[in-house]
Amino acid sequence: MSRVVKFTLFQVITWFLVGLGMFMIVTRPGVIENWGDNKYKSIALAILFLLGYGTDLVIRMLEKSKKFGFIRDERSEYNQLKAMSIGFIIVLIFIFVFAITLYTRFENKGFMPIGYVWILAYSTIIAANLGVGIPTLIIYRKQEKN
């Protein structure tokens, strides 16, 4: 397993855990309906996203570090571009499906709790990170398996 794959795997696991944590927070009773009044939910989400972005920052710093001997070559750039193209499509589909689901669910009520918009915003970040990370792992796996 190359270093790029190890780092990407670590990143994917982290963002998966962030997503899982967020899911557990927002599915608790009353959280979405009382979105603005729940300070603890905001702090918990902030900590989760700090963990996700913190991991990204540490990985980037390790990549830049000469001491660590991390090498990116043309194949890394090619794979990254390919994964980002796939990730872009995944995010588009995710937002479309999420928005349409909300519309069909609340169409008859005529209004929607504002918390859902926050969930869409937060989950788009997670979808983008997983949508690029997972295809990256699949592309490398295809190229590097014997």
Partner 1 sequence: MLKNNLKAIRRSKVSITQQDLADRVGCTRQTIIALEQHKYNPSLILALNLAEVLQTPVEDLFYLEDDDE
Which residues contribute to the site for partner 1 (CB under 8 A)?
A: 2, 71, 73-76, 78, 142-144, 146
Q: Which is nearer to partner 1, 70 or 98 (CB)?
A: 70
- What is the smallest separation between the CB atom of 76 and partner 1, expressed in angstroms? 8
- What is the smallest separation between the CB atom of 6 and partner 1, expressed in angstroms? 12
Distance of CA 32 to the CA centre of its chain: 20
| Closest of 118, 131, 141 to residue 15, by C-alpha | 131
- What is the smallest separation between the CB atom of 63 and partner 1, expressed in angstroms? 13
Residue carrying structure tokens 């928005």 = 99
d(CA 128, CA 106): 26
Question: Could you give the angle at which helices 39-64 and 115-144 cross, rounded to 10 degrees?
Answer: 30
- What is the smallest separation between the CB atom of 56 and partner 1, expressed in angstroms? 22
Q: Which is nearer to partner 1, 75 or 105 (CB)?
A: 75
Distance of CA 144 to the CA centre of its chain: 25
Q: Which is nearer to partner 1, 67 or 145 (CB)?
A: 145
